Amino acid sequence: MGAVVLDDAVIGDDVIIGAGSLVPPRKHLESGFLYAGSPAKAARELTAQERAFLVQSAANYTATAQAYRETDGSTAD
């Protein structure tokens, strides 16, 4: 939601970037943390519940894309 990730930034697995945050060029965001601010900094470690939500959220997006392709005939790449 309005976060900006600049050139060559590396985002680790299981990372949440806060709304309105700015990830500077070449910044490496370590896995398993919430990052926020401008520039983005690690705010705290993610909980097990938040990590599980990321997996479920990705599955929801995949299912929505599949449903769209089936009803509209378009491809989502």
Q: Does a cis peptide bond (omega within 30 degrees of 0) precede residue 25? A: no
- Where do the DSSP E strands lie in the chain? 4-5, 10-11, 16-17, 22-23, 28-29, 33-36, 41-45
pTM, entire model: 0.81
pLDDT at 1 over 90: no
Q: How far apart are CA 26 and CA 76, in angstroms?
A: 29
For 61, which DSSP code?
Answer: H
Position 74 scores a pLDDT of: 62
What is the per-residue pLDDT across 19-66, written as a single tens digit (0 to 9) for each?
Answer: 999 999 999 999 999 999 999 999 999 999 999 999 999 999 999 999
Position 76 scores a pLDDT of: 58
Q: Look at phi and psi of residue 56 and say left if phi exceeds 0, alpha if psi is from -120 to 50, else beta.
A: alpha
